[in-house]
Amino acid sequence: MDDRMETVVAGVALKNPVITASGTFGSGREYGELIDLNCLGAVTVKGVSCEPWKGNPIPRIAETQSGMLNSIGLQNPGVEHFIEHDLPFLRQHDTKIIVNICGHTLAQYCAVAERLADCDVDMLELNISCPNVEEGGLAFGTAPRMVERVVQAVRHYTGQPLTVKLSPEVTDITEIARAAVSGGADALSLINTLRGMKIDIHRRRAVLASKTGGYSGPGIMPVALRMVYEVCKTVDVPVIGMGGIATFEDALEFIMAGAAAVAVGTANFHNPYATVEIIEGIRGYLEENDIASLDKIRGIVD
């Protein structure tokens, strides 16, 4: 254990600030064949709903310049499957478990939170920002009063530490952040993907079956960083920064903008060792610059 890498998010002590971003890492099983999951600060699992969700039609993936679009539609086998199969697997590892939860209705969000309330997980991440589901997702995440209401409702059903994942598709991210905190969020995760599109000029139609999808990758990082910076200046709860992080330098930018921790998503597809390399890179930076803890540089940019 390297003390200078430790960070605390919503009362949960992480051995280092590097987390996997929901939806890019499954429940860790597949990447666990390549990397040592024990070295991660936390694993955020793919969105879990109370019932199984089939997901969206194919094609679901499109590459863009320095980024990608996805429209998976939160396909998942449901919370019971997660508790039975994925949770025991993850628990064998020395890493924290953050469960991303999703729903089409307020009642569904509450049901999955309630089901997980007594389970051995470390934190819930409330996904009110997925651009790829018709009901729920973004519909809950873009109006401050709705955000406050859904967070409050879920809060009622769980005592687990709760982070709320925010969409960048809003006029003022700080307003949404304040609403989530006022609803009872212990932490905030931002940003989710931006809505994007790609057209195949030869077939003269959208590449994705659902026409539009969530845009992620290095291209969105400046937007994500700006929003993390603004939110960290506005609220007192810790922020998990994410959006296009691919290198340790990227991760340090988020920490200097005020993030308590960072999540790595699309970079996992490009390089399955991205998280490991980022952890080593941050450690190296702290050692070289003789920085005793992440607190010394967190939010250092005013």
Partner 1 sequence: MNTYCKAAIRNQKELMTGIWKMELEAPEIAHSARPGQFIQMYPPDERNLLARPISLAAIHGESVEVVYRVVGKGTEQFSRLRDNDMVQLMGPLGNGFTLPEAGERSVIIGGGLGIPPLLELSKRIPGEAEVFLGYADAPFMDGDFRGHGRKVHVASQTGNGGFRGTVLELVEAIAPFADRVYACGPRQMLQAVAEWAERQGIPAQVSMEERMACGIGACLGCAVKIQKPGEKDWQYLRVCRDGPVFSGREVVWNG
**Neighbour count for residue 105 (Cβ, 10 Å):** 12
Total residues contacting partner 1 (rule CB under 8 A)? 32
- Buried b vs exposed e over 239-256: b needs ≥16 C-beta within 10 Å? bbbbbbbbbbebbbbbbe
Footprint of partner 1 on residues 21-40 (CB under 8 A)? 23-26, 30-31, 33-34
Q: What is the spatial distance between Cα 17 and Cα 32, in angstroms, rounded to a whole number? A: 19
Q: In this chain, which of 2, 270, 284, 293 binds partner 1, going by CB under 8 A?
A: 270
Rg (CA), the chain: 18
By CB under 8 A, is residue 72 in contact with partner 1?
yes
Among 14, 19, 43, 68, binds partner 1 (CB under 8 A): 68
Question: Using CB under 8 A, which of the segments 6-14, 56-64, 150-158, 161-169 binds partner 1?
Answer: 56-64
CA 262, CA 241: separation in Å to the nearest integer? 5
Asked if 199 touches partner 1 (CB under 8 A), the answer is no
Three-state secondary-structure class, residue 183 = helix
- Find the shortest distance in angstroms from Cβ 46 to partner 1: 8
If binding is defined by CB under 8 A, does position 184 make contact with partner 1? no
Q: What residues from 92 to 121 belong to the interface with partner 1 (CB under 8 A)? A: none
* Closer residue to partner 1, CB minimum distance, 16 or 216: 216
Which of residues 11, 13, 38, 66 is near partner 1 by CB under 8 A?
66
| H or E element at residue 153 | helix 144-157
In the 8-state DSSP scheme, what is residue 144? H
- Nearer to partner 1 among residue 30 and residue 134 (C-beta): 30
The helix (H) or strand (E) run that includes residue 139 is helix 138-141
Which part of the chain contacts partner 1 (CB under 8 A), choosing from 4-12, 54-62, 97-105, 251-259?
54-62
Answer whether 20's CB lies under 8 Å from 264's CB: yes
User: Which residue among 7, 48, 60, 186 contacts partner 1 (CB under 8 A)?
Assistant: 60
Task: Find residue 19's DSSP bridge partners.
Answer: 42, 263
- From the list 3, 65, 201, 288, which residue makes contact with partner 1 (rule: CB under 8 A)? 65
Question: 3-state DSSP call for residue 68?
Answer: strand
Phi, psi (rounded to 5 degrees) for 202: -80, -40
Contact 168, 195 (CB under 8 A): no
Stretch of 51-59, 103-111, 176-184, 185-193 contacting partner 1, by CB under 8 A: 51-59
Cα–Cα nearest to 8, from 285, 231, 237: 237
Among 100, 163, 210, 266, binds partner 1 (CB under 8 A): 266
272 binds partner 1 (CB under 8 A): yes
In the structure encoding, which two tokens stand for residue 119, read together? 């389970």
Name the residues annotated as catalytic: 130
CB 301, min distance to partner 1, A: 26
Residues at the interface with partner 1 (CB under 8 A): 23-26, 30-31, 33-34, 46, 54-55, 58-63, 65-68, 70, 72, 75, 217-218, 266, 268-270, 272-273
